Structure 1
Amino acid sequence: MTRARIKRATIASTVGTALEWYDFSLYGTAAALVLPAVFFPTADPVVATLSSLATFAIGFFARPVGGVLIGVLGDRFGRRQMLFVTLLLMAASSVLIGVLPTYAQVGVLAPALLVFLRILQGLGAGGEYAGAMLLSAEHSGKTTRGLNASIPSVGNAMGSLVATGIFFLFEAVLSDEAFLAWGWRVPFLLSIVLSIAAFIIRLKVEDSPEFTREMNLRGVVRMPFRTMFKLSGRRVPLAMLMSIAPNILSYLPSVYALTYLASTVGAPAWIGLVGIIIANLLKLVTVPTAGWLSDKFGARRIMMIGSVAGAILFFPFFFMLDTGTPLVVWAALVMIFTLCCDLTLASQASMMSTLFHVRVRYTAVTFSREITGALVGGTIPFVAAWLTSVGSGSPWLVCVFCAAMCLICAVGTYFLPSTEADDEVHSEESVRQHR
């Protein structure tokens, strides 16, 4: 397997993931800072914010549906073909969000259309990251699988970095009136640029050699869910627990922290946006480093370190946010959103790429990862906002909740089987053949 082949697969996977995270990060930022005023005007700003964050969660609840459907088709027709479908869904929904009429123009139809497009966005995103990660990992060798599987997560940082940067640029140079009138739309319309680039690059990449070889030997799985649970056993529920911390450590700092800084701390919006930009810049280094560490010391160990560290550091994280001091806020975001989060993201990708048999891997990864993403990642901004309100503006309940969730993730990871799924299945088949 040549270096050029691995490089093309990894780049193609990463560019597509950048589009997914550009769209999702852009929506998350807009949901916290713009969409409440444009689509959910109300006399109570807390109600408007909660309504906007609820639409953010809706996209996550659509992700398991899209993920499982695309995963099943991906195990039938290949990873590469499905990644073109996800590109189309993500790009089309984001561009259409950019041209939606406002509540002031069409009333309740505006938020209804926003919800519909958010669902389409979620359907595409549900299968994108898993397919990109698998395409990259399955083009690599075993000794560098963790590194290659983690690199598409760099696309997360790239997409989020570009989205936050463009959003910050328009928010900074335009007046409040101009930004609310049309400026917020431009970043959504620019989604088409990333999608064209990703489409062209992916045209030059072959499908996964690991998947292709298995299909030639054994054919297509006819009953993917039955086969998935038969081959995977307890791996699926434990993988769902293992996916908790990456969601908590991603979406609480990158989405809810912006709302908390603006509404509770009273800090200017630029402080949080610049902090997210800094954190994502560092991810370009920390994500592949965490992938390398997963290859060297074991992905299970790296996941548990990241989860436990996050559980402990959420308490100083909010204390640092409460200062409202730019340098302290930025350090807090880097601590959780970069260092802790990247340890879990990279190790998750490494484990997911070997945890399930290749014949049902796409289905199993999307099923376990996206259901947890919907239940945890999609709801954490809303839950955190509600817990802060219950705590009379104090974040201590948020800290306790997030710490508990990260510890559950560490426990689930500890009990995951250490043997690769393909090796287990091939060993069982070899025993049966020699009886």
Structure 2
Amino acid sequence: MSTSPLSSARADTEDTAASIRTSRVIFASFIGTAIEFYDFYVYATAAALVIGPVFFPHSSAMAQALSAFVTFGIAFVARPIGSFLFGHFGDRIGRKSTLVASLLVMGLSTTLIGFVPGYDSIGSLAPILLCVLRFGQGIGLGGEWGGAALLATEYAPAGKRGWFGMFPQLGPSVGFLASNGLFFGLALSLSDEQFRSWGWRVPFLVSAVLVALGLYVRLKIAETPAFKAAVEREERVRVPLATLLTEHGGATVLGALAMVVCYTLFYISTVFSLSYGVSTLHFSRPEFLGLLCVAVVFMGLATPLSAWASDRFGRKPVLVVGIAAAILSGFAMQPLLGSGSTPLVLLFLVIELFLMGVTFAPMGALLPELFPTRVRYTGAGVAYNLGGILGASVAPYIAQLLAAHGGLAWVGGYVSVAAVVSLVGVLCMRETRDANLI
């Protein structure tokens, strides 16, 4: 039986509309995390370079660095709170509106940091305001990643959730490259005095423009099919966090443990290594920032490869291989980073960030797959951000102490131990590749 021209045209129109809708969802999940992580990494880079001298000037260089890393860690304490808050509304009222709100909170906090005067201008009020806004950054990011991952995976066709979940995982690579690239350009074009006086504030102010772009994109997307189905079946729960803790506490803990290696690899190889490279190895700021810009490209390349492999072979096998390599990479820190040789330092950064991409990419699908729709936003966000407390909040601080008292070999041991923690979590969880998200 032949198909009428009208039916064929209608089918083509529907296919085109579906393709446009899918493209918008993919871009919205990617651009949001790219902007959010740009905001977050702007602070991380500033913490390694200028936050100590500007906001804690009346102390030794070591004390300034440690104080800066304490403010860095504040956001990781706030992130689970953000995942509780935004997860509640994401599971109750929907993914779209919650993602818009999280982007606003994050962007406003980041932009305002660029206006906070230093200690020399307003005294102790300066670090207090800095800590408050850093806490706000954490609240916003705590609600961002889980929603972006759900946006991608709940729209994904069967057998391609790892690939679709890869797009929010690309956000950190692009966000970091944009943030680091901007700092790199400023370091090249400004004197040390100009950079410390006002230049470091420019990346924070640029955030306002990026947030406006992100809001425009996210306001044009529709609610996910999985959430719509849950509403129709009346499956929403009154307090998603309570249901998560009572019924899915084990999955939450295992998801958090699995995330530890990602955070540790990233923040040791960027925040700590940047601080150590400039202050101890005596690299110039532009030189080390340039090395990081090159290395993060390999993180971006590893992300789609690992996501594809997780669809092909499963989440657990890919993660086990990546984590095993991360355990071994800890032993490379002393001979590579400690050498002070530019090629060997770059090799270390490439290895660590490539492994970050390998272990991070499957998480975009795995964490949402661990939870049912009614608590998925809360569960994925809480697991992701609890992993941040364990793997990143104190990582640069601890690494700074370990390097001062035991050398880089101790810091490498810290990386290996963190990877072992994640290996235990992954081995104890179920394979989720074939889970039904509807």
Aligned to 2:331: 315
- Partners of 1:85 and 1:16 in 2: CA distance: 12
Given the two structures, how large is their TM-score scaled by the length of structure 1?
0.93
- Residue 265 of structure 1: SS of its match in structure 2? coil
Post-superposition CA distance 1:212-236 (Å, at most 9, x none): 1112112421132332245435212
Aligned to 1:104: 120
Report the more deviating stretch, 272-281 or 143-152.
Answer: 272-281
1:354 to 340, 348, 369: 369
Post-superposition CA distance 1:119-166 (Å, at most 9, x none): 001000011111111101111112110011121111111111111011
- For the pair 1:367 / 2:371, whether they are aligned, the reply is no
2:104 to 88, 101, 107: 88
Aligned to 1:151: 167
Aligned to 1:406: 419
Q: Tell me by how many angstroms 1:263 deviates.
A: 2.1
Q: Tell me by how many angstroms 1:403 deviates.
A: 0.4
Q: What is the one-letter code of the residue matched to 2:42?
A: L
Q: Tell me by how many angstroms 1:190 deviates.
A: 0.3
Call closer, same or farther: CA 1:25–1:272 in 2, change over 3 Å: same
Give matches, 1:261-340, under 5 Å.
Answer: 261-337=277-353, 339-340=354-355
2:405 to 382, 386, 390: 390
- For the pair 1:7 / 2:23, whether they are aligned, the reply is yes
Aligned to 1:224: 240
- Partners of 1:144 and 1:99 in 2: CA distance: 43
- Partners of 1:33 and 1:253 in 2: CA distance: 15
- Residue 400 of structure 1: SS of its match in structure 2? helix
CA contact (8 A) 2:315 2:433 kept: no
Aligned to 1:429: none
How many aligned positions are there?
Answer: 422
Could you say what the CA RMSD is over the residues aligned between the two structures, in angstroms? 1.7
Aligned to 1:433: none
Q: Percent identity?
A: 35
Q: What is the one-letter code of the residue matched to 1:117?
A: L
- For the pair 1:194 / 2:210, whether they are aligned, the reply is yes
Post-superposition CA distance 1:302-337 (Å, at most 9, x none): 111111111101221332112222222222111101
- Residue 169 of structure 2: SS of its match in structure 1? helix
Aligned to 2:8: none
CA contact (8 A) 1:357 1:421 kept: no
CA contact (8 A) 1:291 1:347 kept: yes
Call closer, same or farther: CA 1:156–1:72 in 2, change over 3 Å: same
Q: Tell me by how many angstroms 1:419 deviates.
A: 5.1
Q: Tell me by how many angstroms 1:406 deviates.
A: 0.3
Segments of structure 2 that go 5 or more residues without pairing to the other structure are: 1-14
Report the more deviating stretch, 403-412 or 259-268.
Answer: 259-268
Post-superposition CA distance 1:43-88 (Å, at most 9, x none): 4100000000100000111101011111111000111111111111
Q: Tell me by how many angstroms 1:412 deviates.
A: 1.1
Aligned to 1:20: 36
Report the more deviating stretch, 311-320 or 55-64.
Answer: 311-320
CA contact (8 A) 1:221 1:359 kept: yes
- Partners of 1:405 and 1:43 in 2: CA distance: 31
- Partners of 2:192 and 2:51 in 1: CA distance: 13
CA contact (8 A) 1:164 1:277 kept: yes
Post-superposition CA distance 1:170-229 (Å, at most 9, x none): 111111111111111111100011101111111111111111111211242113233224
- Partners of 1:252 and 1:319 in 2: CA distance: 16
CA contact (8 A) 1:261 1:272 kept: yes
- Partners of 1:240 and 1:210 in 2: CA distance: 24
Report the more deviating stretch, 274-283 or 53-62.
Answer: 274-283
Report the more deviating stretch, 9-18 or 213-222.
Answer: 213-222
Q: Tell me by how many angstroms 1:285 deviates.
A: 2.7
- Partners of 1:230 and 1:387 in 2: CA distance: 38
Aligned to 1:31: 47
CA contact (8 A) 1:388 1:398 kept: yes
Post-superposition CA distance 1:103-134 (Å, at most 9, x none): 00111110110000000010000111111111
Call closer, same or farther: CA 1:420–1:268 in 2, change over 3 Å: closer
- Residue 318 of structure 2: SS of its match in structure 1? helix
CA contact (8 A) 1:317 1:336 kept: no
- Partners of 1:320 and 1:254 in 2: CA distance: 15
Given the two structures, how large is their TM-score scaled by the length of structure 2?
0.93
- For the pair 1:120 / 2:136, whether they are aligned, the reply is yes
- Residue 260 of structure 1: SS of its match in structure 2? helix
Q: Tell me by how many angstroms 1:241 deviates.
A: 1.1
- Residue 143 of structure 1: SS of its match in structure 2? coil
Call closer, same or farther: CA 1:360–1:411 in 2, change over 3 Å: same
Call closer, same or farther: CA 1:419–1:181 in 2, change over 3 Å: closer
CA contact (8 A) 2:92 2:237 kept: yes
CA contact (8 A) 2:332 2:412 kept: no
Aligned to 1:430: none
Call closer, same or farther: CA 1:83–1:318 in 2, change over 3 Å: farther
- Partners of 2:329 and 2:298 in 1: CA distance: 19
- Partners of 1:321 and 1:271 in 2: CA distance: 14
Segments of structure 1 that go 5 or more residues without pairing to the other structure are: 427-435
Aligned to 2:5: none
